[in-house]
C-alpha cells in the first residue's frame, strides 16, 4: 500500500509570537502532489519510534526531507491515508 496523506496534530514553540502566544497548535498535513513549496511530492513514509513520529518525504526532483515530531508535541490522533 502507498501512503497518500499524513496528518499530525501538534504544538511547537513559536518565538515570532508574544509571550502569551508562544505555543502554536496546528495540524501538519503531508500529501502527494504539489506542496506549498512548489515541489511535487511522490512518496511519503511514516515511522513510529520511542522518541516520536518521523515523516520522510521524497520529491520528484529526488530531494528528501525528514520531519520529526516528538511524542510530547503530538496533541491528537495521527491520521494516515493509504491508496
Is residue 50 classed exposed, middle or buried when 0-12, 13-18 and 19+ CB atoms within 10 A define those classes?
A: exposed
pLDDT in tens, the chain (83 residues): 899 999 999 987 666 655 555 677 789 999 999 998 899 999 999 999 999 999 999 999 999 999 999 999 999 999 999 99
- Cell numbers describing residue 40: 511535487
The predicted structure's pLDDT at residue 52 = 96
pTM of the model: 0.84
The predicted structure's pLDDT at residue 36 = 87
Is residue 77 classed exposed, middle or buried when 0-12, 13-18 and 19+ CB atoms within 10 A define those classes?
A: exposed
Amino acid at each position: 500500500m502507498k501512503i497518500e496523506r499524513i496528518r499530525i496534530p501538534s504544538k511547537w514553540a513559536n518565538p515570532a509570537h508574544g509571550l502569551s502566544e508562544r505555543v502554536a497548535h496546528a495540524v501538519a498535513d503531508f500529501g502527494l502532489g504539489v506542496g506549498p513549496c512548489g515541489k511535487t511530492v511522490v512518496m511519503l513514509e511514516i515511522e513510529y519510534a520511542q522518541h516520536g513520529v518521523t515523516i520522510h518525504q521524497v520529491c520528484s526532483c529526488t530531494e528528501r526531507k525528514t520531519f520529526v515530531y516528538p511524542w510530547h508535541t503530538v496533541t491528537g490522533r495521527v491520521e494516515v491515508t493509504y491508496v
